[in-house]
Amino acid sequence: MEGMELICFQIIAASGGAKSAFIAAIDAAKKGDFEEAARQMEAGEEFMNQGHEPHAQLIQKEAAGESNPISLLLIHAEDQMMGAEQFKVLAEKTIGVYKVLADLQK
């Protein structure tokens, strides 16, 4: 596998790792382990960065006049990346709610 397919699968894999980490962060916060939630959020962010890097390369190539073939695989990769970003926002908000609940129980 090379070229565009490899880039797409890098984005997909990184996005999946990010979503898993963000879900793990919510699970940790639900248990009251906010340190682990923070670690998982950081891990998710690192995965997101790994996915954004090859995506940014595609954008830079296109900006330089080198067209990228649009395929269903690329659309899927971008969809997965957007989904991971939405999970991040959801995780941040949910962890905030769990923190408020934990403070109220003290």
**What DSSP assignment string belongs to 38-106?**
HHHHHHHHHHHHHHHHHHHHHHHHHHTT------HHHHHHHHHHHHHHHHHHHHHHHHHHHHHHHHHH-
Active site residues: 76
Kindly give, in sequence order, each residue whose CB lies less than 8 Å from that of residue 85, ignoring residues fewer than 6 positions away.
48
103 is in an annotated binding site: no
Residue with tokens 């990184």: 14
Binding residues for Mg(2+): 79
Binding residues: 79
